[in-house]
A and B are shown apart, each in its own frame.
Chain A
Amino acid sequence: MIYKNTIIAILLLPMLGSLIGWLIGRKSEAYRDTFNILLTGAEFLIINLIFKRIATGPVELFIPDIMGIGLSLKLDIFRYIFIWVTSLIWFLTTIYSTQYLIRYKNRNRYYAFFMLTLGSTIGIFLSENLINLFTFFEIMSFTSYALVIHDEDEYAHEAGRSYISMAIIGGLILLMGLFLLYDYLGTVDIRPLSMAMKDLGNIKYLISALLIIGFGVKASIVPLHVWLPKAHPAAPTPASAILSGILVKTGIFGIIVVVSIMMNGDMVLSTVILIIGFINMFLGGFLAMFQRNIKRILAYSSMSQIGYILMGIGLIGLLKEHNAIAVYATLYHIFNHALFKVLLFLCAGVIYMILHELSINAIRGFGKHKNILKILFLIGLFAIIGMPGFNGFISKTLLHEALAEAHHMYHNMWFNVAEVIFTISSSFTVAYLLKIFVAVFMEKSDKYKGQYKHHLKKRAMIPMVALSVVIIYIGLRPNIILKVLEGTMVLFNAHEHIEPHFYNIHNIKSSMITIGFGFIIFIGFISRYLRKEENGEPVYVNPSLKWFSLERHLYIPVARFLYRSSSMIFKVIDRGIINLVMYVSNSLKALSGIKVKKPSKAIENLKIKKPNVLVRKNNKNEFTTFSDILEILRFNLNSLMYGVFILAIMIIVVLGILVF
């Protein structure tokens, strides 16, 4: 029971903390910052404390009558990994925020939404019920929107527009999938669904496609990634860090739930995810090389890394009973990516904090004399490119092994292509990070000579140092995480137990080859073609700006066309009804205005009695109109004769109907 309460506590703590923090912040900013750090610290601590219980088995909790069908929460090892890394990153970024945000406005709003986002993210990872998951997912979209537009300048608003419109459309598609799911299976609980989906016909592909599109928007799968390179740079750095490090993972979490748990790693779906993964990894890496804004490079890098994770998810399905290695690889990479991507973002944030500039051309040579920052960035760089001794090496090796195993299993020539793409994408990673590193930390610049030292406070450095320590520690002792990951095997129907040796000559060699390729790409492509001399200063150019842009050239025109055509159709319907009514009323008016020549005197004289109205009208006008006739009719209808007449007819009709 205590653990059930704990689950509720870790869900509610940030949500309540957001409100309390906001209230405190109205009085004193310093207290609020301390409060937030303590809160996230406490959250992290609680999550650490319940590990022992979670390791022995999942904790489930059901509270009826919330959100209509009840709140169904579950915490097992699989979810625990996500939650642990979420709370860790949040704790560190909160510490970092207190330093980073000093010059920003609306800090109180930022912290409130920051904490709400934490609560809803935790809610996503805890939900055992897809409706709960969807609800938290939407809350998270809206609260993180407030973080994206925090600067409230034009660029931030444009990015926010992309972000929120994609998120809403994705959410609606997701909801449609959920409706179909509920309609066909009558349940939205994740565990029963995995049983029930088997018996469903081809409709299950439609349902899972809708769900994957919905989650895929957040996970930035191609071609739904257009918001990501805009939103991540637009947000304040701690927010970009969590967007890239954690929020993208909520989409990944959803995709894992759909593909690997609900669909039990269906072959078709896994293949599709695998292919999307390769596209993501290649395209993200390729585009990252052209960018000049550091945060944008890192954002595209996230996209590329998501490609690795998607590839892992695809392989979980494809490897069937031998999927243990793919499971390890995927979850490990999710974990790692959160760590090193946040570290890199925080490094970029430090630069921005001092210079308010992110373009490589402007900050060139800034880090030449900043040794601590240089080292921290280098650690992140080594981690992400998979240098032996860092955590990225472990997960990339695992992913590579999983791919090799799939190759071995299927003997399909496409896997050769896949290996090539994998290697090239990894080299891209090396190349675009070298681009940053060389430009910012190696090149000489007359502007920056080691000043600005006093700008950096310990509060900003501690989280980065902590992340670096974790990165190196688990890079050197990978088995700690592997042991934890073992608990998730049951969920994915994996049985094998692997005890890989990472630091053997083969793995290190392949890692080195990749890095070597990366150097070649950097020197041969980036330095040669993307670096131009202008006024004696080296300047990086970005030709990709002129290329085909999905958002500008496809989505917006299509959306505009859809909007215009649908508004056109509705306008036709709308105007049509109004016109019809007008037409009918006009024609009725015209009809009532038709003038009939009044009866000749001879006939008129035959009439013995006339109602007053008739007499008056006839005397006045030569013509009588339809409305006059109506008037006379009304007069007649009101008479006693009519009453008796109706009565007689009714008697005849009623008795007739009854008797015959």
Chain B
Amino acid sequence: MDVAKNFPLVIILILFIGAFIMPLLKNKIYNKAFSLMTIGISSVLSLITLVYVNRYGTFLYRVGHWDSPWGIELSIGILEAIMSLLLTSVAFVISWYSVYTIEKEIKDNKVCFYYTLINILVGALLGIVYTNDLFNAFVFIEVSAIAACGIIVVKDKKENIKATLKYLILSSVGSGLVLMGIAFIYSITGNLNMTFINKELSQTFMAYENSILISLGLFTIGLGIKSAMYPLHVWLPDAHSNAPSTSSAMLSALVLKAYVIFYIKILYRMFGEEIISQFPILLFMVLILGSLGMIMGSILAILQKDIKRVIAYSSVAQMGYIFFGIGLGNTIGLVSTFFHILNHAIIKSALFLTVGSMIEKTGQKKLFALKGIGKEMPITLGLFTVSALSMVGIPILPGFISKFNFAIGSIKGGKSIFVVVILISSLLNALYYFPIVINGYFGEENLEGKVFKSKEKTIKELMPILVLIIAALILGASSNKIIEMISNGVEVF
């Protein structure tokens, strides 16, 4: 079984090498198949890694057999394994969906480029998740940022270029801030390996209090930009709403999350709980920003008229939840954060894909134009409804479970008042999701002149979304086991 220890590196290599082989394959079909195959293989390997880690515990992998302070190290625990499984499998499902639809959104000659970028993006995100080395992480962050910009601009429209530029500039600023943070840390400790930095810092942090604070602030802002922490989310609505819907799904479901994982790693692995607890103001700030995001994201979503922008702003609100969980600063908050990452990745990609198919079939993006869609595309809107219910937090669905855990976490952390924020945010969620569903299915004037199932996609094309919804239901149904597993992971993080 020890061969499983190589899998993380193998996954990254497969994805990257696959990415560079793809341009050589001229045929579109081969491209798609190859991309799907590589991502599929990597998700299978991720699953094996998860099983391995679950049985034998965390392991460190030395890249090129150089020992740690000098060589690059990958650290794979339960959480990393879960995240890599999530990233690869959701990416696989989204790519599966994109196989049927991508030509309708981008030009034919860009298809090959698109899949190359997808492979690079997933590989880079996995790298961020796995790595135990700060600079290595930075490199992966940069790679992923470029790839993410690439899958937005691949559509080649005016507003895409505008959105991409905005994203690129802000994202580069974010990367720069992260780099500055790394520089601070390096100057203090002389190390880039997180474990070693932690060791050094725990002895000397009293002497460099301000430097540590500044670097914490830089990391928070830098990664905050990248993962759309309110009010640094300004790039997100444009980027997500203009990109092809599969790209939006990828960006919203996966890209945002990888940076959060990295942020958590920086907080708890690099600085360590001891140092973080010395500066409660930091976590409190994250908590406040998270709460603001939860509420403002939803309010902004209510104001939108474009369905994709609604869902993009909803992502801002959901990222608010994730930062809220981090800001609680206790184990249960962190566990809920991880659970919410899983939940949001699955549900949000389902939402983007359903909305994508509605837009594709009707050619309309505006909310008022999509009234009565439930008659034309009942199954698609049904899938959308289930996802929306989960977002609002209806019991059994995973959204409820993560909200419930957030509430418990805030009560246990002595911050009961924030339960109100969760409730208000859920209410606001309902305010913008339900009208879409209700106007879609009901209302005589809405349904007038619509033909039943006239625009429905075939079951074959809807299959990926169905898989996502089933995965969400399983996630909700077996939440106890998953939460237990995550708690075990958080214990050894």
Query: Using a CB–CB distance below 8 Å, which chain A residues touch chain B?
Result: 637-638, 640, 642-644, 646-647, 650-651, 654-655, 657-659
Contact = CB atoms under 8 A, between A and B. Distances in A.
B214 A643 contact: no
B232 A646 contact: yes
21 contacts: A637-B234, A638-B234, A638-B238, A640-B166, A646-B234, A647-B170, A647-B221, A647-B232, A650-B224, A650-B232, A651-B177, A654-B217, A654-B221, A655-B213, A655-B217, A657-B285, A658-B213, A658-B216, A658-B285, A659-B210, A659-B217
Given A646-B231, A657-B281, A659-B214, A651 B169 contact: no
8 A-B pairs with least C-beta separation? A643-B234, A658-B213, A655-B217, A658-B217, A654-B217, A640-B166, A651-B221, A659-B213
Given A651-B221, A654-B220, A659-B214, 16 more contacts: A637-B234, A638-B238, A640-B165, A643-B170, A644-B169, A644-B173, A646-B231, A646-B232, A647-B173, A647-B225, A647-B232, A655-B217, A657-B281, A658-B281, A658-B282, A659-B210
Contacts of A657: 281, 285
B282 to A, nearest CB: 6
Contact of A643 (B166, B217, B220): B166
B66 interface: no
A406 B48 CA distance: 91
B100 interface: no
Q: Tell me whether chain A's interface is mostly helix, strand or loop, or mixed.
A: helix
Contact of B285 (A637, A638, A654): A654
Contacts of B237: 638
B235 A643 contact: yes
Interface residues of B, number: 26
A650 B221 contact: yes
B231 A644 contact: no
Nearest to B234: A643
Interface in B187-238: 210, 213-214, 216-218, 220-221, 224-225, 231-232, 234-235, 237-238
A655 B221 CA distance: 9
A637 B285 CA distance: 23
Given A654-B220, A655-B217, A644 B282 contact: no
Interface in B462-485: none
Contacts of A650: 221, 224, 231-232
B288 to A, nearest CB: 10
B434 interface: no
B162 to A, nearest CB: 9
Q: Tell me whether chain B's interface is mostly helix, strand or loop, or mixed.
A: helix
B20 interface: no
Contacts of A654: 217, 220-221, 285
Contacts of A643: 166, 169-170, 234-235
A658 B177 CA distance: 16
A642 B234 contact: yes
Contacts of A659: 210, 213-214, 217
Nearest to A651: B221
A647 B224 CA distance: 10
Q: Which has the most chain A C-beta neighbours within 10 Å: B213, B232, B234?
A: B234
A651 to B, nearest CB: 5
A658 B279 CA distance: 8
B429 to A, nearest CB: 21
A82 B128 CA distance: 80
Contacts of B218: 655
A657 B288 CA distance: 13
Contacts of B282: 658
Contacts of B173: 644, 647
A86 B237 CA distance: 76
Interface in B331-387: none
Contacts of A646: 231-232, 234
A272 B225 CA distance: 76
A210 to B, nearest CB: 34
A306 to B, nearest CB: 52
A642 B233 CA distance: 11
A651 B279 CA distance: 18
Contacts of B234: 637-638, 642-643, 646
Contacts of B165: 640
Interface in B249-266: none
A657 B285 CA distance: 9
Contacts of A640: 165-166, 169-170
A638 B306 CA distance: 15
A646 B228 CA distance: 13
A654 B238 CA distance: 25
A638 B163 CA distance: 10
B290 to A, nearest CB: 14
B278 to A, nearest CB: 12
A632 to B, nearest CB: 15
Contact of B170 (A637, A644, A651, A655): A644
A646 B292 CA distance: 15
A43 to B, nearest CB: 46
A638 B279 CA distance: 34
A643 B239 CA distance: 13
Q: Which has the most chain A C-beta neighbours within 10 Å: B177, B213, B281?
A: B213
A651 B176 CA distance: 12
Contacts of A642: 234
A637 B225 CA distance: 16
Nearest to A646: B231
B178 to A, nearest CB: 13
A646 B225 CA distance: 11
Contacts of B217: 651, 654-655, 658-659
Nearest to B162: A640
Interface string B268-305: 00000000000101100100000000000000000000
Q: Which has the most chain B C-beta neighbours within 10 Å: A644, A657, A658?
A: A658
Nearest to B177: A651
A640 B238 CA distance: 11
A133 to B, nearest CB: 36
A180 B224 CA distance: 53
Interface string B168-180: 0110010001000
A503 B281 CA distance: 93
A651 B217 CA distance: 8
Contacts of A644: 169-170, 173
A658 B221 contact: no
B214 A658 contact: yes
A428 to B, nearest CB: 65
Nearest to A649: B231
